[in-house]
Amino acid sequence: MKMKKYTAPTMVEAMKKVREDFGDDAVILSSSVIKSKGFLGLFQKRSVEVVAGFDQKAEKPIYEPPARAVLPARSDAAESLQAEMQEMKKMIKGMQQSDRTLEKYPDELIPLLVKLQTQGLAHEYIAEAGDALYEQMKKEKKDFTETEQLELLKQWFSAKLREVSFGGISYTKKYINVLGPTGVGKTTTIAKIAARALLEEKKKIGFITTDTYRIAAIEQLRTYANLLQAPVEIAYNATDFAAAIEKLQDRDLIFIDTAGRNYKETKFVEDLQRLVDFSLDMETFLVLSTTSKEQDMDIIIERFEKFPIEKFIFTKTDETSSVGSMINLMLKYSIGMAYFTDGQEVPEDITEANFEKLFTLLLAGDQHA
């Protein structure tokens, strides 16, 4: 493979140089951006360094096996390597397509749109936002300042997210049910919400856990409950769940910590349906980790489509600098956001969601609201 390094003020210019040398079959091996300090990481001077390559395929294979020769079976390692190479090719193709999408916009808009790219916002939304800003620039026949660009982008996002709701628990329903796969931090999140209900709203709280598959999960909830001086009931089946509801009738709010399972498996979703009584006066939230792949979160959401999901709760925003998937999923499923979390401290590291905080989080990356 022939390789060459390119440096240019913008990614668009760098890609033009790559295509001049290698054409559309070029492969982007790596790219990096060096930026000076600026507001929220935007609109600063920057240079782009790209390493591109071109695979000069031989006209004939180096070795042709005899017609009757039996080739050795491919090893698992070889198959794994092949799969990784295919995945990399898809990723590179997506990067190249994205760069071409940005070519139609003036240089003044590129840093902002690149920022949205790095945040993982879907290409279709980046294109819509870019078109809206560019059309306004042409309409007013001028270049926008940094502040004007941000304000226009904010207006576009506000209109786009108008149909989804924001905000935490309503305090109008007795039962707070929290669903989600293993490893997303459900129990800690429940403890944060419950602690605020107790400390700020002076509510009498109680807990039910159906996560009987992991002793550690039960003990973790008991630890939080002891600190909050709140009762905990354990439900192994639907009968236990009904009994727990009866025992906690004197509570203002009852928080239900469901089992963290691999809900890509339909069986576990059906088990949950049989165990929890969803006909109760209940608010149900789905917890997802921002460190998960968006396609995996898609599968989880689709598995829970029969459940009355009020809003999403997104966790671990402090462990990623790419939070665009939150907006992608909210728009795709028309489901709002209740909270996002950014650490393990209870009850501090949780933020009740609103549009302003989400927009700031999107632009700031790893600088949190």
Architecture of domain 175-364: 3-Layer(aba) Sandwich (3.40)
pLDDT of residue 58: 40
Q: Where are the domains of the chain?
A: 1-57, 110-160, 175-364
Q: Is 73 helix (H, G, I), strand (E, B) or coil?
A: coil
pLDDT of residue 145: 81
Q: Which of 189, 180, 199 is nearest to 341 (CA)?
A: 189
pLDDT of residue 29: 64
For residues 17 and 50, what is the distance between their CA atoms, to the nearest angstrom?
Answer: 10
Tell me, rounded to whole angstroms, the distance of Cα 67 from its chain centroid. 51
pLDDT digits (tens, 9 = 90+) for 216-236: 778 888 999 999 999 999 998
Calculate mean pLDDT across residues 33-48. 55
pLDDT digits (tens, 9 = 90+) for 147-202: 888 999 999 999 999 999 999 999 999 999 999 888 888 999 999 999 999 999 99
For residues 25 and 68, what is the distance between their CA atoms, to the nearest angstrom?
Answer: 35
Pairing label, strands 232-234, 282-289: unpaired
Q: Does the pLDDT at position 328 exceed 80?
A: yes
The length of the chain in residues reads 369
pLDDT digits (tens, 9 = 90+) for 53-76: 776 654 444 444 444 544 445 455
Calculate mean pLDDT across residues 237-266. 87
Q: Among 139-153, 161-175, 290-304, 351-365, which stretch is predicted with the lowest mean pLDDT? A: 139-153
pLDDT of residue 37: 52
pLDDT tier at 83 (50, 70, 90 boundaries)?
low
Close Cβ partners of 165 (under 8 Å, ≥ 6 residues apart): 311, 336
Q: Which of 258, 259, 254, 229 is nearest to 244 (CA)?
A: 254
Q: Is 290 helix (H, G, I), strand (E, B) or coil?
A: coil
